[in-house]
Amino acid sequence: MWKESKLKWLITGSIFIGIFEFLSLAGIHLPKPLALPFFLTFTLLFGYKTIWHGLQALLALNFKSINFLMLIAIAGAFYLGEYPEGTIVIILFTLAEELEDLGIAKSQSALDSLINKMPRTVLVKGEINAVDVANIAIGTTILIKPGQMIPLDGIVKDGLSFVDESAITGEPIAQDKRPGDSIFAGSLNRQGFLEVEVTKTASESTIEKIREMTFNATQNKAKTQKFIEVFSQYYTPFVILLALFWTLFTWLVLKRPFDQGFADALALLVIACPCALVISTPISIFSAIGNASSSGALIKGGRYLEAIGQIKAMAIDKTRTLTIGEPVVTDVIPFDGHSKELLLSCAAGIEKLSEHPLAQSIVNAAMKENLTPHSVENFESIIGKGAKADCLVCDDKHHCIGKLEFILEEHHVPHPFIDQIDSYQNQGKTVIAVSTHKSLEGIIALEDEIRPNSAQFIADLKSLGIHTVMLTGDHLNVAKSIAKKVGIEAIKADLLPQDKSQAVKELLHDYGIVAMFGDGVNDAPALALSNVGISMSSLGSDTAIEAASIVILNGRLKVIPFLIQLSRKTLTTIKTNIAFALAIKTIFIILALLSLSNLALAIFADVGVTLLVILNSLRLMNFKIEG
């Protein structure tokens, strides 16, 4: 509220003093005895902080300070009797700083606004009065009403609802939530009444981690921003020395009046103020990071935003990036007259008792076909091979299920069946065989389900000129099968985590700037080694959030090409801002040195450039992907 009020006062003050400035340019002046106290009052009222900081810089001999430069400009204007110019320069400088702060605040406003809207209290099951969110312990059951924002991370214990997670993930479609599903602070309960068991305290919630990392992103400055900051430290004292030299040169060498050379030097000081240069990068970076956040991507700093737009190659892990990471049944092939339904029902009955990762996939396939898993007894799991059990439905009770090698230990399998199994394995599929005492009943083929948009994702990367390489710990035939379907030519398979790191090193050597896209857990060494580590994270995965420099929170692969284009647009915007600011400043510096400019023109040119730079940078908040 105070910020808005201060901004209104500054705008009002600028208009008010601007009237006197235009009257002054027209030759209409206040009487000198009245003008000095009148303009001095407004100068101190609006610019006391800048003047005070300028005096501190003078005492500390800190000639790199912009405030010191402004102090010289104000004092010089009043010395020359150009009171309206001295007042307007401080008001417009303060206004520009305020707009700079407003621009940065606006670029961070989406996440900040969400944090401010978070509930401070919540209903706890068994309690009459609402409890402060900060006092809720892990394991507490909280009650979420329809239309209420969810204050803490947790697991649904009871109730059905649709939950809007767009504020965190950027996913516009509300998600169906049932008992056992995870929900996250900052999302909105659209429909039903939910009982939720809290899994994280308020300070450790997903939204709090995102907020913390987003605001800490200002510490990881882009190279461009660091360069501009260093440049301005030398640029400001150079301009002061140039102004001093020009004043003395025109007075002592060219024999012009001291006041004329001093007035030209003041105009030079004002137009050369590096405000527009200094602000050109951070506002662009903050705006782009804010845009990325609303699109479901967490970028941990400006240097990562800058780097992703410059990558020449991307190493991509297969599992949980190009694929969903959950195997699905693709083929059920019965042998010797058995039916597909019988084979799948019997296999599901045995696998229902197994803890093997593929077991649930077979059970899910049976349920999807509305088949009832057979009842079994005498279940025995053989680790690394398969399982045995007696089926209570089939005529031939004894069954074995597992790898072909396991079946061959007890049963003969005809070569045509083995060739068929090899054929599926060559396609990159995992094959499970089912047999009885008498014969091989059939085989079930599974593969990791490819994300629907993986092929488009690879095509988008190629269109952006980025070389793609698949890195996977899976077997080569599996990798080839997936790579062929999504459009990747370069493959490296059977890799351990250290092998992936070595592969990234080779890409860095060949391409210079490289991104690694992995799941954030076993890919951590390769993620850390690359210029940009990108993780496809399920919400709430602390490991993934910590491991990567960019985290995709919504599972949408198309966010990555968007980030690359956003980064390139950001870099272009920064370069445009800098080039535009330097061009205008160069022109007016030359005009000032030729006595063709004055303090008033310099003031409006400087403020105008700063405003245009801010507005141009804020456009990045609304940047959308092409096509």
Active site residues: 317
DSSP β-bridge partners for residue 401: 387, 434
233 closest CA partner among 112, 64, 347: 64
Burial class for 41, CB neighbours closer than 10 Å (0-12, 13-18, 19+): exposed
CB 3 within 8 A of CB 102: yes
Residue in the block written with tokens 């709430």: 540
DSSP β-bridge partners for residue 333: 443
CB 521 within 8 A of CB 548: no
CB 428 within 8 A of CB 477: yes
- Share of the chain residues as helix, strand and coil, in percent rounded to the nearest 5: 55, 15, 25
Burial class for 187, CB neighbours closer than 10 Å (0-12, 13-18, 19+): buried
**Tokens for 460?**
């988008």
348 closest CA partner among 315, 376, 385: 376
Burial class for 9, CB neighbours closer than 10 Å (0-12, 13-18, 19+): middle
Q: Is 598 helix (H, G, I), strand (E, B) or coil?
A: coil
**Tokens for 354?**
């197994």
Q: Is 204 helix (H, G, I), strand (E, B) or coil?
A: helix
Burial class for 245, CB neighbours closer than 10 Å (0-12, 13-18, 19+): exposed
Positive or negative, the Cα torsion across 140, 141, 145, 148? positive
**What is the spatial distance between Cα 81 and Cα 484, in angstroms, rounded to a whole number?**
77
CB 73 within 8 A of CB 270: yes
Beta-strand runs (E) in 353-473: 376-382, 386-391, 398-402, 430-436, 440-450, 467-471
- The three-state DSSP-derived secondary structure of 44-63 is HHHHHHHHHHHHHHHHCCCC
**What is the spatial distance between Cα 538 and Cα 442, in angstroms, rounded to a whole number?**
36
Distance of CA 227 to the CA centre of its chain: 23
Q: Is 302 helix (H, G, I), strand (E, B) or coil?
A: helix
**What is the spatial distance between Cα 576 and Cα 283, in angstroms, rounded to a whole number?**
13
**What is the spatial distance between Cα 600 and Cα 66, in angstroms, rounded to a whole number?**
19
464 closest CA partner among 250, 309, 275: 309
